[in-house]
Structure formats: C-alpha cells, structure tokens
Amino acid sequence: MINKILSRNNSVLWIIALASIIVPFFMPNRYFQDIIVMTFLWAGLACSWNLYSGYCNRLSIGHAAYLGIGAYSSTLLYINFGISPWIGMLVGGAISAVAALIIGGSTLRLKGTFFVLSTIAFAEILKVMTITSKDITEGALGVFIPYEPSFMNMIWASKIPYAFLTWIYMLVALFICVKMEKSKLGYSLIAVGENQEAAENLGVNSSRTMLIAFVMSAVLTSFGGTIYAQYIMFIEPTSVMSLMNSVNFILLAITGGMGTAFGPMVGSFILTPISNLLRGYLSSVSGLHTFVLGMILIVILLFRPDGILPQLKLFFNGLIKKSKVRKGV
C-alpha cells in the first residue's frame, strides 16, 4: 500500500524541488539566504547518504568521513597548488571512491550492528589521522580558504550563486536517486536491503550491488564536502568529521523517509531551517537546538518510522484527486 503511494506523484515533489530555487530571492537578508543554502546542501548530502544506507537499509554512521575527504581534498589542492576547487571536487570524488572501495570491500559483508560500528570506526580513524598529520592538514587548527571571489575559485560575494550551486547539487543527487530507483541496480539494492539471502537466491550479486551503491554514495557525499568547504571557507577536522555530522545525514533522511528518493529532501526542507533558526534565535540556551532535533527524531521513530513523505504523498494525492475527475488510489 505504502509502496504503491510512494511510486506515484513524484511530479509534485519534482515541482517543489525545481521551484525551491526562487526562495532565496525572496529572503530579506543574508542570514535567511544562508539557511536556504544549508538546506539545499544538506538535502543533497542526505540524498547521497540515502543512496546506499536508505535503499539498502544498512546504516552508515560514518558519512562525515567522505564529507571530510571532499572538503580536505579540494581545499588542500587549492591552498597549496592553486588548483581550482572544481577540479579539486573531482579529485576528492576520486579519492572518496578509492576509500569507499577499500572500506566497502572489507566491511560491507559485515552484518547489522557490525557494519554500523565499522562505519563509525573508519570515520573516527580518519578524523584522528587528519588531526595528527599536521604537516599536510594543519591538524586541529583547521584550514582557512582565502577570500578571492571568482567562478574558478568557487567563491562568491553573494549568497545567490551558492544557492544555485547547492540547488544543482541537490537536483543531481535527486536525479541519480530517482534514476537508480528504476534501474536494475536500484531493484537489486532494495531486494538486498529487504532480504539478502532471498535476493542472492534470485541471482542478485549482493556484494557487487552494495559496493557500487556505496561508492556512488561516498562520491556524491564528497562532492558535497567540497561545496561545504568552499561555502564555509574554513574546515577543521573535529567539526567537519564529527559524529554529529554523520548523524545529521540520518536525521534528515529518516524524518523525510528513508529509502525514498525525495524523503531526504523533505527532511532537510523541514529540519535544516528549524535547526538553524533555533540556533540563531535561542543561542543563549546552548544545546537546545540539538535537543529539539533529538526529540523530533524520537517522536518520528516511535510514531512515523516511515517518515513524513508517505503522509505528504497521501495529502498530494488527495489534492490531485480533487482537481482531476477521477484517479483511483
């Protein structure tokens, strides 16, 4: 039933995704534009996470590692050799692909909890390595990106180009998810997620399927990492590769709906502004915004474990039914 509803009416969600780019133009100031940029960016990131963990139903709580690889690769190339972050983004993607191949190759076969823990462990190891190799990464001090606005440097004075960049990033991630859902890879991945043995018996090469999706997810996340670094213009291991960042991927995807193409976007559209506004307006109470996010997550898990998207789709279905003559559910 739910699946039937989910497979319909992506058109409304596509319209929302495409139309969302007009929002930053109506924002009164840079503060609100910043929230929009972060919303797009996190929508894309959560979508990338969802590509493996959501469809395959195996949690990665270490995606901050790929975010970090993307951020550090482009930034270090740019700072040290003046290589444009656009190229750095591709290099970061390639490094992430190799890392995901090695990590995925050795841990994807692990079952349940073991896999989850191994993702945390890799993210932590990478964070410690980044902190300790001071000669390359400046260690815990972090790296500043000098402010030299130009298209080649992926740095702009206004927030609007960033909004476009993150919006395109989000659309690309969405497009890949939607395409994958209807491809052989997508079907295999969902089958493996539901029941690995059964899928294997039906001839699905589960380890290959998982590895491909895992690498795709890591590369997309890494692209987001580069954009993140170019936007914030300061990266530091403990904040970029924190467990909290890794959890944020999950938080957004779960709230919207794990394993659905548009779920992570819906999650980010709802939660990223809430989180930023809470942080902005109630900053005197430290910890409040994370507390609220945690409570939202608990409530969603207990009462709507499929996320908000199914509800939203039912709502859209109702609207469409009213406007059209007949459309059976």
Q: Provide the residue type at 283 as one letter.
A: S
The reply on whether position 63 binds other proteins by CB under 8 A is: no
- By CB under 8 A, residue 117 contacts other proteins: yes
Options 73-81, 83-91, 300-308, 312-320: segment touching other proteins (CB under 8 A): 300-308
Q: How far is CA 221 from CA 10, 179, 251, 325, in A?
A: 23, 18, 16, 43
Cα-Cα-Cα-Cα dihedral of 286, 290, 292, 297, to 10°? -170
Span from 22-30, 76-84, 126-134, 201-209 in contact with other proteins (CB under 8 A): 126-134
Cα-Cα-Cα-Cα torsion 177, 183, 186, 187, nearest 10 degrees, comes to: 140
Q: Which of 153, 290, 311, 317 binds other proteins (CB under 8 A)?
A: 290
58 is a site residue for other proteins (CB under 8 A): yes
136 is a site residue for other proteins (CB under 8 A):
no
Distance, in Å, from the CA atom of 203 to the CA atom of 185, rounded to the nearest integer, reads 13
Of residues 58 and 63, the one with the C-beta less far from other proteins: 58
292-296 contacts, C-beta under 8 A, 24 or more apart? 293/251, 296/255, 296/271
Q: How many other C-beta atoms can be found within 10 angstroms of the C-beta atom of residue 87?
A: 13
287 lies in the site for other proteins, by CB under 8 A? yes
The single residue listed with the structure tokens 């939203």 is: 312
Q: Is 281 in the site for other proteins (CB under 8 A)?
A: no
Lay out the site mask for other proteins across 206-225 (x = CB under 8 A, - = otherwise). --------------------
- Interacting residues with other proteins (CB under 8 A): 57-59, 61, 106-107, 110, 112-114, 116-118, 120-122, 124-125, 128-129, 131-132, 243, 247, 250-251, 254, 258, 285-288, 290-291, 293-295, 297-298, 301-302, 305
